[in-house]
Amino acid sequence: MAEQEKAFSREKTIVKTGVIGIIANVLLASFKALIGFAVHSTAMVLDAVNNLSDVLSSVITIIGTKIASRKPDKKHPLGHGRAEYLAQMIVAALIIYAGITALWESVKKIIEPVEAEHSAISLTVISVAIVVKIFLGIYVTKQGKKARSDLLISSGKDALFDAGLSTAVLISAIVLIFAGLNIEAYVSVVISFFIFKAGVEIIFEAVDDMLGHRVEGEYTRKVKECVSGFPEVHGVYDIVLHNYGPDRYLGSLHIEVDDTMTADRIDALTRSISEKTYTDTGIILTAVGIYSNNSSDEKLMKMRNDITEIVVDHKHILQLHGFYVDEERKRITFDVVVDFEEQDREGLIAHIVGDVKKVLPGYDVVVTIDSDISDQ
């Protein structure tokens, strides 16, 4: 229930912020367009077009959020959260289109210049637009961070960026009035470039989210702190989280427990871990694996410490875990986390096995490679 309330609150925040953005940008676009056409200011008209694209972006943000908030169904058992990433792609496409259109119009004005006629009214409109965009940008960015919405954060940054572009228009108008230099068409080219650049960056961000990237350390830290709080757990490893939309994660992990624990106690423990993890973090654990710890033999515990020192001394080894010694079979098993800079992983493992066997020649050594996929 707590997670449902959290999701509803997030949706409400995004929709409310989107509506405020729509109202503000419609008013700004209207005033800028009227004054821009009246004084023949290409830069101001293009700035108004950019505000209209912001309106459409806010509409898409609201629609995307509504779709993403739908409950899971048979066809989409993990929900519709990734719809927000598609919404980002659409917003980016609109911004890129606006940038290309603006560039085309700017180039035409450079080839066939039209003298702008600024007045106190036009300068006032631009100044007011700058102030409004600054406040809107700060507000939307703050709400985006609160709701963990990349769409809102991007919109907020875009609004602050628009304030900078409007400042450039204001400066070009002042230059025209006091120096007699008409640089608006050239300023418009610069505006077009930055609009286009913003769209491309949003596309890359959305694609990165859809491809799947390294999970923020904040999430893995929360999971590790939660699971480590159980007294039976001696270590938390191999945390793997899969993103199915903003703040929607499914994952798995391994825990290390005493080798004396029975199956019924392990079952009760893993169920409690899954339940508490979801309650505390909202992350659904689909699997909790087990590493057995040689807790009843001091000799084997010392052996673990000695081998750990040998292994982590190798370059590109970030962690050793899952260590277990089967004395009856004379077999040592453990996992190592290897960073992505290591090119010859098999060679590294062979070297580690050789070093361990030098110290413990009578044992069979089995090493499993784990990739550095999350901050642990």
Residue 214 backbone phi and psi in degrees, to 5: -60, 130
Q: Is the dihedral of CA 9, 149, 196, 206 positive or negative?
A: negative
Place of tokens 């008409």: 182
Residue 115: pLDDT band (50, 70, 90) is low
Average pLDDT over all residues of the chain: 83
pLDDT of residue 1: 42
* Mean pLDDT of the 6-26 span: 82
Would you give the distance in Å from CA 324 to the centre of its chain? 37
Nearest to 151 by CA among 242, 70, 247: 247
For the chain, what are the domain ranges? 2-211, 215-292, 294-376
Burial 21-34 (b: 16+ CB within 10 A, else e): bbebbeebbebbbb
Residue 324: pLDDT band (50, 70, 90) is very high
pLDDT of residue 70: 82
Residue 366: pLDDT band (50, 70, 90) is very high
Position 10 pLDDT exceeds 80: no
Domain 294-376 matching CATH 3.30.70.1350: the answer reads: yes
Same fold, 2-211 and 294-376: no
Q: What is the percent of the chain with per-residue pLDDT over 90, rounded to a whole number? A: 23
CB 334 within 8 A of CB 324: yes
2-211 sits in which CATH class?
Answer: mainly alpha
Tokens standing for residue 250: 């499914």
Nearest to 17 by CA among 75, 64, 58, 54: 58
Position 266 pLDDT exceeds 90: yes
Burial 101-123 (b: 16+ CB within 10 A, else e): ebbebbeebeeeeeebebeeebb
Nearest to 48 by CA among 28, 65, 63, 64: 28
The strand pairing partners of 273, in sequence order, are none
CB 287 within 8 A of CB 277: no
Assigned CATH for 215-292: 3.30.70.1350
Contacts of 248 (CB under 8 A, 6+ apart): 78, 79, 81, 282
* Mean pLDDT of the 212-236 span: 89
pLDDT of residue 233: 94
Range in 125-139, 172-186, 283-297 with the lowest mean pLDDT: 172-186
pLDDT of residue 335: 93
